[in-house]
């Protein structure tokens, strides 16, 4: 368990390449951020919050304001872990300048330590521009959910060797551009192993095998709160049924007038003599 006060930085995470596995989870609330930060090195405020918190079908409608609101809450609730906030779709792709304007808002308004953006070779120039101007960037290649409308489905990448070259080139481009780490999402195990070995920065896997330098999952998925999860998610908890049970018990007790009981009400003060 980690209780240190100093926050980890992007260079701290970068320096862990090839060392002890880097433990990452998402969090979108002050309360869960406190728990996650006690055990993890990195908290990602991912744009998957659109799906897990807001019931959206994809991450495409997520806005910069939504990311900043939740990023700020996570910073308030956590210590020690490096907090990384996703740049959402439409907030960085148009130009390097647009990306810097969005990233600087995120850093200033949340106090987080880095941003993440999706895309490999096509984003390399933008990543270099941000890093040169003081914005630590985590890349994200393989399955890039913000591109759902062009890729058509959330399917695993690199399952045929003939598809490997562009994915590896994307990861190398992100690393060469100065990113401090790169997320590999839904990538076949041999390709993930090859990329992790090829790039000089930590490769953080989500559905990309144990060959990566670290792992990340979406908190609600691993806690058993999400109704549908990809194959790569292991449910480390089953909170869905226990929340259901608690809410049902509450509703039953309110209807039966057995809640609030004697322990849950304020008694009158004894009159002063």
182 within 8 A of 199, measured Cβ to Cβ: yes
- The nearest distance, CB 1 to ligand KIV, in angstroms, is 24
DSSP annotation of 249: H
Q: Which residues neighbour 22 within 8 Å (Cβ) at sequence distance 6 or greater?
A: 13, 16, 41, 42, 181, 202, 204, 213, 214, 215
Q: Considering the complex, what minimum distance in angstroms separates the CB of residue 186 from ligand KIV? A: 9
Q: Which member of 185, 220, 238, 253 is catalytic? A: 185
- The three-point CA angle 45-142-93 to 5° equals 65
Helix locations, the chain, DSSP H? 10-14, 30-39, 49-52, 64-77, 96-110, 124-132, 148-151, 164-176, 189-198, 219-222, 239-255
Q: How far is the CB of 54 from ligand KIV (least distance, A)?
A: 13
Calculate ∠ Cα 263-268-273, nearest 5°: 140
DSSP summary character for residue 53: T
Distance in angstroms (rounded) separating the CA atoms of residues 62 and 66: 7
CB closer to ligand KIV out of 8 and 182: 182
Binders of ligand KIV in range 201-220 (CB under 6 A): 206, 216, 218
Of the candidates 110, 24, 28, the one whose C-alpha atom is nearest the C-alpha of residue 75 is: 110
Among 10, 42, 123, 183, binds ligand KIV (CB under 6 A): 183
Supply the minimum distance, in Å, between the C-beta of residue 159 and ligand KIV. Answer: 19
Q: Is 185 assigned a catalytic role?
A: yes
Calpha distance 167→146 (Å, rounded): 16
* Helix, strand, or coil (residue 258): coil
Tell the smallest beta-carbon distance from residue 178 to ligand KIV (Å): 20
Q: Which is nearer to ligand KIV, 53 or 128 (CB)?
A: 53
Closest CB to ligand KIV among residues 203, 218? 218
- The answer to whether 221 contacts ligand KIV (rule: CB under 6 A) is no
Instruction: Please tell me whether residue 147 adopts helix, strand or coil conformation.
Output: helix
- Considering only residues 19 to 58 of the shown chain, the ones binding ligand KIV according to CB under 6 A are 26, 44, 46-48
Identify which of residues 149 and 264 has a Cβ nearer to ligand KIV in the complex. Answer: 149
Q: Which of residues 53-112 bind ligand KIV (CB under 6 A)?
A: 86
Nearest to 35 by CA among 77, 75, 68, 71: 77
| Residue nearest to ligand KIV as judged by C-beta position | 46
Least distance (Å) from ligand KIV to the CB of residue 50?
8
Nearer to ligand KIV by C-beta: 173 or 208?
208
Binding site for ligand KIV (CB under 6 A): 26, 44, 46-48, 86, 183, 185, 206, 216, 218
Where in the sequence numbering do the catalytic residues fall? 185
């Amino acid at each position: 368990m980690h209780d240190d006060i100093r926050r980890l930085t992007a260079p701290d995470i970068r320096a862990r390449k090839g060392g002890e596995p880097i433990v990452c989870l998402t969090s979108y609330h002050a309360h869960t951020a406190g728990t996650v930060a006690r055990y993890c090195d990195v908290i990602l405020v991912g744009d998957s919050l659109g799906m897990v918190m807001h019931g959206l079908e994809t991450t495409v409608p997520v806005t910069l304001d939504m990311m900043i609101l939740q990023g700020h809450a996570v910073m308030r609730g956590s210590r020690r872990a490096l907090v990384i906030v996703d740049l959402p779709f439409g907030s960085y792709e148009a130009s390097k300048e647009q990306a810097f304007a969005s990233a600087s808002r995120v850093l200033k308004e949340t106090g987080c330590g880095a941003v993440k953006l999706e895309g490999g070779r096509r984003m390399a120039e933008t990543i270099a521009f941000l890093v040169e101007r003081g914005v630590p960037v985590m890349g994200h290649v393989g399955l890039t959910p913000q591109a759902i409308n062009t890729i058509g489905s959330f399917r695993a990448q690199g399952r045929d060797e003939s598809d490997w070259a562009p994915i590896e080139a994307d990861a190398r481009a992100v690393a060469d551009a100065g990113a401090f780490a790169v997320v590999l999402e839904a990538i076949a195990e041999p390709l993930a192993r090859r990329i992790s070995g090829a790039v000089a920065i930590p490769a953080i896997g989500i559905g990309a095998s144990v060959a990566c330098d670290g792992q990340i999952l979406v908190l609600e998925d691993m806690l058993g709160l999400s109704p549908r999860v990809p194959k790569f998610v292991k449910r480390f908890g089953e909170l869905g049924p226990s929340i259901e049970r608690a809410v049902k018990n509450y509703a039953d007790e309110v209807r039966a007038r057995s809640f609030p009981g004697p322990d849950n009400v304020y008694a009158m003060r004894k009159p002063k003599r």
